[in-house]
Structure formats: structure tokens, C-alpha cells
């Protein structure tokens, strides 16, 4: 094996090394959420703005941009999942179990990480089938989802979002998943700092508050859209 | 003199190969001024008089400095009292009629030897892997011949108060040894005397820790709450940083 490859293998096989991978991929995914949310909030600006934004995403770098983003995200998500699942399995088999529970400090969010994470994966798959692959719906039908602005043809992503969230079960699953995402982030974002060695007891309170604030912004931002659709605030 | 009548639920296990079980035993007439270990001494005296096998538990100094005592009391290593070892827990903290669960420090890397005694050799192996400095032997150097800034000296001293008891592992949901390893590594890594071997030390100690079968830290800080010496998880943050840097340097050096 060549030496750089050997170093990567060594890092991956060590507990801290694998956690560093989780933290770094976590940063990418966390920042992606902020970008995704700011795009989504254009739903409040209106149909035109949202559809133009969707058009931009699909056509930047001649359509290559969206694929670069997809590949980067896919790699990050895969590494994040494989590492955390392996770490969790090791942890579950490490042997600390008592007759009486003496938990003193672990937060509920921290204990739920693997379950919130796995729900988020299930949601991401559903979400991609729903809005990206557009399986089992009519969103690719140009008769229904085409708009023309200034003689140029756009996909009506705006209408797609409204139709997507007009079905209650979809909205419900969405809200549950985003809520678990919020829980996942509140422990995850704070953990990034500890794992990368950037936290200390002096900055602890600030980091925890920042992580909570960030996850609440993500939560409110994302769920406000289906709720606004349901309440006909966006129509 | 107040006396307590207690119900003890104690882990009994004749040998590493036997299955263990919880034994229920009454402990009557325990004086409130007894320490927790003295309470067990009283119970053991009764067991000996019955001609049975006494409860085996570890202890040595009984003043909170050696790190031998290792009982999980009501689910918390060294009990829920903050900043004390098992031997510093006193019966006045309990009430008459209480049921007390007493279990060993649990982790696969700490196999039970008998009853409440666990084998913590895995910690020794981690120290042997890098928890030392190489020095020239000879007469002791003059005090202050190596100037050390106060903040570094304080950090190193705080880290050095770790007594190697293993409560951090036993309290961790993942049986991670990160608090212990980070305290031992950062004690030396902070001081000028520890600098020459810093990277080597960090890599070797972390790799040995993984080798011994400890779990992976999930940043829940149970260890900080259980540690009798109140070792700070700031050490873990520092260990993560030092490990990342040492790994990067190692990778570059091999290219
Ligand atoms: S860090 Fe604390 S709990 Fe862990 S071994 Fe050292 S003294 Fe014991
Ligand atoms: S017996 Fe020495 S620390 Fe408890």
C-alpha cells in the first residue's frame, strides 16, 4: 500500500480519526442545510423568484454545478453514515450496562443521535424520490408544471412544492423528520467543535447555545414552508 | 449515634469465567459516621462469621488518592456525590431503609476478576505506550531550571491529578477512555519536558486505547460528571486536536 493511503487507513481505523471524518462531513452537511433553507425561503418571495432560483441551480456551470453538489453531498453523507454506524456498533458492544440507570449529564438529543440520524436518511431518500426523481407524481409533466417568463420556459418548482405539501401525510413525515434533524443538529453542531479540538469549558456555553440556535433556525425555517402551504399562506 | 438499616443489592461473581448475579443482603445497624467501604467491612465481617465468601472489592489508600476503589453505587461510579472516590463516600449521605445497588466498574476493557474487582491492566498498557517522558538519569534538576508559564503549569497540574481509577470509562455509555487518556497525554504534552515526544505519545496512546477495546467518545460528558478529580473534558478537546495534528504530520512525513 502506498504511504498516503496507509495514513488514511490508519486515520479511518482509529476512534478519533473516524470522529474527525464525522465532524468534517458534518460541517459540509450543516452548511448545506443553511444554503438549502435560504433557497427554500424564496417560496415567500413568490413564484417567479423561486422558479428562477430553481432554474439557476439546475443550469449553473452548464448543469454541472448541481451534479458537483450532489456528488459532494453523497460522498459526505455516505462517509458520515458509515463512520457513525461503525462507531455506534462498537459503542453498543463496549460493555457499560448497569442494573440502575445513573445517567447524569447526557442530553436526550445526544442519546437519540443514531435514531434521529437513521430517520433523516429515510427522509432524505423519500425527499429525493419526491422532489428530485419525482417518482409517483406528475411533477415532470410539462402540461402541468411549465411556466413561461419573458418567453423563456421554466419548470414550475413553486407549484411542485405547494402540491407536494398539500397531501397531509407528506407534510407530517416532513415535520417529524425536520424535528429530528433539529435534535440531531443541536448535539451534532456542538460536537463538531469538541471533536476538532475547538471547544473548551470557557466556550462551552456559547457553543451549545449557538448549536441550539442554529438548529432552531433550521427547524422553524424548514417546517414553516409546508405549514404555510397547509394554511394557504403560500398558494 | 444514628444507625442505618439498609438493603444492599450487590454484584457477586466468583471468577471471570462465571456468570454473575445480584445478591440481596440486609445491612443492619450501620453507623452513619462509617465510610461506604467501612460499611462493606462490617457486612463482610458478618459474612465471614457465617462462614461464607466475603464480598471482594478493591481499595488501598482509603483517602481518595490511589485510585484503587472502584464501585458503581446506584448506577454512578464513585456514587453521585461530586468529586469524590468511593472510599470518600460516607454513610451519612444515605437514609435509613435505603436500597443501595453496588456494581463493579463495567466495561469490556475492564473484565471482572471477582465480585466487584475489575482488571484495569488496559490502563497500564496505555501508559506504557506513551504516558512517560524519556529523561537523562542523574541527580534531580534544580527547581525552576525549566521556566514554565503559570497557565501551562496549572493545566498540566490539573490533568496530572487523574488517579487512573477508571470511573470515566465506567460512567461512559460507550466505555470510552478518552478522559483518562486525554488527562495523561495532556499532562505531559503541556509541559516543555513532554514536547520532544508529543506526537509520538499522542498517536501511541490513542492507538493503544483503541486496541484495548474501549468505545468511542460521543461528547456526552458523563465522564466529567463522574470523575472524582473533576478532570475537565477540555483535555479531550486538546487530545482530539493533538491527534489530528500528529496524524497529519505523520501522513506528510510518510509521503
Ligand atoms: S480521568 Fe478521572 S475518572 Fe478517569 S481515571 Fe482519571 S481520575 Fe479516574
Ligand atoms: S482507596 Fe485509594 S482512592 Fe479510594
Question: Does A6 touch chain B if contact means CB atoms closer than 8 Å?
Answer: yes
For residue A3, the chain B residues in CB contact (below 8 A) are: 251, 254-255
Three-state secondary-structure class, residue B72: strand
Q: What is the pLDDT of residue B253?
A: 84
Sequence-separated (6 or more) residues with CB below 8 Å from residue B234: A199, A200, A201
Q: Which residues sit opposite B72 in a β-bridge?
A: B77, B103
> Is A109 at the interface with chain B, CB within 8 A?
no
Report the residue of B103, B174, B180 to disrupt the A interface, i.e. the one with the largest count of A CBs within 10 Å.
Answer: B174
Contact B110, B174 (CB under 8 A): no
Place of cell 456514587: B79
User: For residue A7, which residues of chain B lie inside 8 Å, CB to CB?
Assistant: 247, 250-251, 254
DSSP letter string over B113-133?
EETTEE--HHHHHHHHHHSS-
Cell readout for B181 is: 487518556
**Domains along chain B with CATH numbers:** 3-114 (3.10.20.30), 121-252 (1.10.1060.10)
Question: Buried b vs exposed e over B8-32: b needs ≥16 C-beta within 10 Å?
Answer: bbbbbbeeeeeebeeeeeebeebee
Look at residue B252 in the predicted model and tell me its pLDDT: 86
The predicted structure's pLDDT at residue A21: 97
Could you give the angle at the alpha carbon of A75 between the alpha carbons of A108 and A127, nearest 5°?
A: 65
Dist. CA B181–CA B118, nearest whole Å? 19
CB-closest option in B75, B169, B218 to A101: B75
Closest-approach residue (CA) in chain B for A17: B244
Q: In residues, how long is chain B?
A: 255
Q: Which of A10, A16, A111 to mutate to test the interface with B (most CBs of B within 10 A)?
A: A16
Q: Distance (Å, rounded) from C-alpha A46 to C-alpha A54? A: 12
- Cα A10 from Cα A13, distance rounded (Å): 5
Smallest CA–CA distance from B215 into chain A, residue: A91
Nearest to B244 among A10, A190, A197 (CB): A197
Question: pLDDT (tens digit, 9 = 90+) per residue, A174-184?
Answer: 999 999 999 99
* pTM of the predicted protein model: 0.94
**What percent of chain A is predicted at pLDDT more than 70?**
99
* Residue found by looking up cell 448541481 in the block: A66
* pLDDT the model gives residue A2: 61
B217 and A19 within 8 Å at the Cβ level: the answer is: yes
Which of A95, A104, A197 is the closest to B107 by Cβ? A95
Q: Which chain B positions have a beta carbon within 8 Å of A95's beta carbon?
A: 106-109, 175
Question: What is the DSSP annotation of chain A?
Answer: --HHHHHHHHHHHSHHHHHHHHHHHHHHHHHHHHHHHHHHGGGGT-HHHHHHHHHHHHHGGGGHHHHHHHHHHHHHHHHHHHHHHHHHHHHHTS----SS----S--HHHHHHHHHHHHHHHHHHHHIIIIIS-TTSSTT-TTTSEEEETTEEEE-HHHHHHHHTTSHHHHHHHHHHHHHHHHHHHHHHHHHHHHTT---TTTHHHHHHHHHHHHHHHHHHHHHHHHHHHTTS--
Tell me if A14 and B206 make a contact (CB, 8 A cut-off). yes
ipTM of the prediction: 0.92
Taking only the tens place, the pLDDT of each residue in A112-128 is 999 999 999 999 999 99
> CA neighbours within 13 Å on the CB side: how many for A73?
16
For A69, other C-beta atoms within 10 Å of its C-beta total: 15
A9 lies within 8 A of chain B by CB:
no
Ligand approaching nearest to the C-alpha of B64: 2
Per-residue pLDDT in tens (0 to 9) along chain B, 255 residues: 689 999 999 999 999 999 999 999 999 999 999 999 999 999 999 999 999 999 999 999 999 999 999 999 999 999 999 999 999 999 999 999 999 999 999 999 999 999 999 999 999 999 999 999 998 788 888 888 889 999 999 999 999 999 999 999 999 999 999 999 999 999 999 999 999 999 999 999 999 999 999 999 999 999 999 999 999 999 999 999 999 999 999 988 877
Evaluate if residue A1 carries a pLDDT over 90: no
What pLDDT score does B86 carry?
Answer: 98
Q: What is the pLDDT of residue A62?
A: 87
Distance CA B16, CA B86 (A): 23
A213 pLDDT above the threshold of 90: yes
- The 10s digit of each residue's pLDDT in B89-99 is 999 999 999 99
Question: What value does the mean pLDDT of chain A take?
Answer: 93
Q: Which residue in the block uniquely carries the three cell numbers 474501549?
A: B214
Question: CA of B176, closest CA in chain A: separation in Å?
Answer: 8
Sorted by where each starts, the structural domains of chain A and their CATH numbers stand as 14-230 (1.20.1300)
The residue-averaged pLDDT of A154-174 equals 91
User: What is the reported pLDDT for B1?
Assistant: 67
Query: Between chains, do B215 and A94 touch, taking CB under 8 Å as contact?
Result: yes
Q: Which three cell numbers stand for residue B242?
A: 493533538
User: What pLDDT score was predicted for residue B65?
Assistant: 96
d(CA B113, CA B57): 10
Is-contact B116 B11, C-beta < 8 A? yes
- The reported pLDDT for the residue numbered A138 is 86
Residue B48's SS3 state is helix
β B76-77/B3-12 pair status: unpaired
pLDDT at B140: 81
Residue from B119, B218, B239 whose CB has the most chain A CBs within 10 Å, to mutate: B218
What pairs with residue B22 in β-bridges?
B11
Amino acid at each position: 500500500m502506498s504511504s498516503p493511503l496507509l495514513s488514511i487507513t490508519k486515520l479511518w481505523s482509529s476512534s478519533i480519526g473516524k470522529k474527525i471524518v464525522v465532524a468534517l462531513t458534518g460541517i459540509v452537511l450543516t452548511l448545506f442545510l443553511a444554503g438549502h433553507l435560504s433557497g427554500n425561503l424564496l417560496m415567500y418571495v413568490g413564484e417567479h423568484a423561486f422558479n428562477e432560483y430553481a432554474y439557476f441551480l439546475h443550469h449553473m456551470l452548464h448543469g454541472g454545478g448541481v451534479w458537483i453538489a450532489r456528488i459532494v453531498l453523497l460522498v459526505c453523507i455516505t462517509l458520515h453514515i458509515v463512520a457513525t454506524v461503525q462507531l455506534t456498533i462498537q459503542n453498543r458492544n463496549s460493555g457499560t450496562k448497569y442494573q440502575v440507570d445513573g445517567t447524569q449529564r447526557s442530553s436526550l438529543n445526544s442519546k437519540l443521535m443514531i435514531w434521529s440520524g437513521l430517520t433523516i436518511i429515510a427522509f432524505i431518500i423519500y425527499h429525493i424520490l419526491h422532489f428530485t426523481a419525482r417518482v409517483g407524481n406528475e411533477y415532470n409533466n410539462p402540461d402541468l408544471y411549465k411556466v413561461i417568463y419573458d418567453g423563456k420556459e421554466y419548470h414550475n418548482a413553486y407549484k411542485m412544492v405547494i402540491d407536494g405539501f398539500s397531501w397531509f401525510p407528506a407534510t407530517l413525515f416532513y415535520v417529524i423528520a425536520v424535528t429530528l434533524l433539529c435534535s440531531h443538529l443541536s448535539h451534532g453542531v456542538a460536537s463538531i467543535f469538541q471533536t476538532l479540538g475547538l471547544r473548551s469549558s470557557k466556550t462551552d456555553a456559547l457553543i451549545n447555545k449557538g448549536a441550539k440556535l442554529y438548529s432552531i433556525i433550521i427547524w422553524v425555517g424548514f417546517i414553516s414552508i409546508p405549514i404555510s402551504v397547509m394554511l394557504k399562506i403560500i398558494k | 449515634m444514628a444507625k442505618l438499616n439498609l438493603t444492599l443489592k450487590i454484584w457477586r461473581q466468583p471468577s471471570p469465567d462465571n456468570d454473575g448475579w445480584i445478591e440481596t443482603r440486609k445491612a443492619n445497624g450501620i453507623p452513619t459516621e462509617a465510610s461506604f467501604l467501612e460499611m462493606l467491612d462490617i457486612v463482610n465481617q458478618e459474612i465471614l462469621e457465617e462462614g461464607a465468601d466475603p464480598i471482594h472489592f478493591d481499595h488501598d489508600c482509603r483517602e481518595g488518592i490511589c485510585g484503587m476503589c472502584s464501585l458503581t453505587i446506584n448506577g454512578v461510579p464513585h456514587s453521585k456525590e461530586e468529586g469524590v472516590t468511593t472510599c470518600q463516600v460516607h454513610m451519612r449521605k444515605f437514609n435509613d431503609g435505603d436500597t443501595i445497588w453496588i456494581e463493579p466498574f463495567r466495561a469490556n476493557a475492564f473484565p471482572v476478576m471477582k465480585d466487584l474487582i475489575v482488571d484495569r491492566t488496559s490502563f497500564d498498557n496505555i501508559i506504557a505506550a506513551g504516558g512517560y517522558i524519556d529523561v537523562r538519569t542523574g541527580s534531580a534538576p534544580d527547581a525552576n531550571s525549566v521556566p514554565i508559564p503559570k497557565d501551562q503549569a496549572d493545566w498540566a497540574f490539573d490533568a496530572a491529578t487523574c488517579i487512573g481509577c477508571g470511573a470515566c470509562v465506567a460512567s461512559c455509555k460507550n466505555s470510552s477512555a478518552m478522559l483518562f487518556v486525554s488527562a495523561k497525554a495532556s499532562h505531559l504534552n503541556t509541559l516543555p519536558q513532554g514536547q520532544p515526544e508529543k506526537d509520538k505519545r499522542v498517536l501511541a496512546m490513542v492507538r493503544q486505547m483503541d486496541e484495548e477495546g474501549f468505545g468511542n467518545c460521543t461528547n456526552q460528558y458523563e465522564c466529567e460528571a463522574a470523575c472524582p478529580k473533576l478532570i475537565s473534558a477540555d483535555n479531550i478537546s486538546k487530545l482530539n486536536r493533538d491527534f489530528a495534528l500528529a496524524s497529519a504530520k505523520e501522513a506528510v512525513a510518510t509521503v
